[in-house]
């Protein structure tokens, strides 16, 4: 077995999105090739209603899939196909935008004012960019949980892990999306297929993700080796990008550690990206925005196969 070394440790950065929602962006925009097939990860945990209630009013998407995982509060949504509903604590919504959809997402806090969750964007391959849009909505009770002998627990949103299969299926990137909790002081190895890009995002507790030669020893992104001491632990809002291998290892801190562990098969295709639309060429991107201006965005059909 080959332990995946740490490629980068990144702290999520404060960002404003939508109509003024305060969130943290772990990665997204710029060069995301190390995360391929994933494009963006936003952490929208917030306990101040005025920082999130403006929400994400009507906006388009094309060429991607968005995965929304709610931990506290609810996200009310509606779209151009007439769908509407709410994603509650523990629920997942996996939206395949395909050839185009216009939707809105409006966060509502719980009775304590908490609105906690994440949104991940996954790219679609060129062959599926113009596929019909669809939703998969999964309630918390439908997500399988597996607990190992040492108390390590994994919620399996998508993919196969420890003999269980998540409820989300038919996803182009064949992702594995896990919510992992490792008890205090425990050291745990978790399998990740060699062919995949993989990352972990810590959102509770802290711990050490281990390199082949020892505990994590990489400086935060954007800081030179000469003028910093290596961080000793990955804590809340830390993103760990893994290099090649077939296992990751984590040593939980005194309060345990909880993190998303996400992996997918890279598409290795060109990316033309502006805002909520991701295509393969600049011409396709310009065509999408032209259709938005002309009011024909939702009329687009899949190109006929020759």
Q: Is the pLDDT of residue 219 over 70?
A: no
Q: State pLDDT tens for residues 146-164.
A: 999 999 999 999 999 999 9
Q: Is the pLDDT of residue 53 over 80?
A: yes
Residue whose entry in the numeric block shows the structure tokens 């391959």: 125
Q: Are 98 and 131 in contact (CB under 8 A)?
A: yes
For the record, the structure tokens of 24 come out as 């943290």
Q: Is the pLDDT of residue 228 over 70?
A: no
Q: Which residues pair with 278 in a beta bridge?
A: 273
Mean pLDDT of the chain: 88
How far out from the chain centre does Cα 93 lie? 12
Beta strands 164-165; 160-161: pairing state = antiparallel
The pLDDT of residue 31: 83
| Stretch 76-83: mean pLDDT | 88
Domains and CATH numbers, the chain: 6-264 (2.60.120.10)
Q: Is the pLDDT of residue 297 over 70?
A: yes
The pLDDT of residue 265: 95
Beta strands 56-61; 64-72: pairing state = unpaired
Residue with the larger pLDDT of the pair 222 and 131: 131
CA distance 185 to 255: 8
CA distance 9 to 20: 27
Residue with the larger pLDDT of the pair 173 and 259: 259
Q: State pLDDT tens for residues 88-124.
A: 999 999 999 999 999 999 999 999 999 999 999 999 9
The pLDDT of residue 174: 82
Q: How confident is the model at residue 232 (pLDDT cuts 50, 70, 90)?
A: low
Q: How confident is the model at residue 83 (pLDDT cuts 50, 70, 90)?
A: confident
Query: pTM for the full model?
Result: 0.89
Q: Which residues pair with 146 in a beta bridge?
A: 154
| Stretch 184-213: mean pLDDT | 90
| Stretch 29-46: mean pLDDT | 92
Q: Is the pLDDT of residue 222 over 60?
A: no
The pLDDT of residue 67: 93
The pLDDT of residue 115: 95
Closest CA to 198 of 260, 283, 133: 260
Percent of the chain whose pLDDT exceeds 70? 91
Residue 261: C-alpha distances to residues 1, 11, 94, 120, 180 (Å): 19, 16, 17, 12, 7
Closest CA to 62 of 270, 268, 280, 288: 288
The pLDDT of residue 20: 94
- CA neighbours closer than 13 Å in the CB half-sphere of residue 127: 6
The pLDDT of residue 262: 97
Q: Is the pLDDT of residue 223 over 70?
A: no
Closest CA to 234 of 8, 74, 67, 40: 8
The pLDDT of residue 81: 85
Length of the chain: 306
**Which residues are CB-neighbours of 226 under 8 A, at least 6 positions away?**
none
């Amino acid at each position: 077995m080959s332990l995946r070394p740490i490629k980068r440790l990144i702290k999520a950065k404060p960002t404003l999105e939508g109509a003024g929602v305060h969130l943290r962006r772990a990665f997204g925009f710029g060069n995301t090739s190390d995360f391929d097939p994933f494009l963006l990860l936003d952490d929208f945990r917030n306990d101040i209603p005025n920082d999130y209630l403006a929400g994400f009013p009507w906006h388009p998407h094309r060429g991607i899939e968005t995965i929304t995982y709610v931990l506290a509060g609810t996200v009310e949504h509606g779209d151009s196909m007439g769908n509407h509903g709410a994603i509650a604590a523990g629920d997942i919504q996996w939206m395949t935008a395909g050839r185009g959809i216009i939707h809105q997402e409006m966060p509502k806090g719980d009775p304590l004012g908490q609105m906690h969750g994440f949104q991940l964007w996954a790219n679609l391959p060129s062959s599926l960019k113009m596929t019909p849009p669809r939703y998969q909505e999964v309630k918390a009770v439908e997500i399988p949980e597996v607990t190992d002998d040492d108390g390590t627990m994994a919620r399996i949103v998508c993919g196969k892990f420890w003999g269980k299969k998540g409820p989300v299926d038919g996803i182009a990137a064949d992702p594995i999306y896990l919510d992992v909790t490792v008890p205090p002081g425990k050291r745990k190895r978790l399998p990740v297929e060699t062919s995949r890009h993989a990352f972990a995002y810590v959102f509770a507790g802290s711990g050490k993700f281990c390199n082949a030669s020892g505990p994590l020893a990489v400086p935060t992104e954007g800081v030179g080796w000469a003028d910093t001491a290596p961080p000793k632990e990955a804590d809340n809002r830390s993103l760990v990008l893994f290099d090649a291998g077939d296992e990751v290892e984590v040593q939980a801190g005194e309060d345990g550690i909880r993190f998303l562990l996400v992996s997918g098969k890279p598409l290795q295709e060109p990316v033309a990206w502006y805002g909520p639309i991701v295509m393969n060429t600049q011409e396709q991107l310009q065509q999408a925005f032209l259709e938005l201006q002309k009011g024909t965005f939702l009329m687009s059909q899949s190109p006929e196969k020759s």
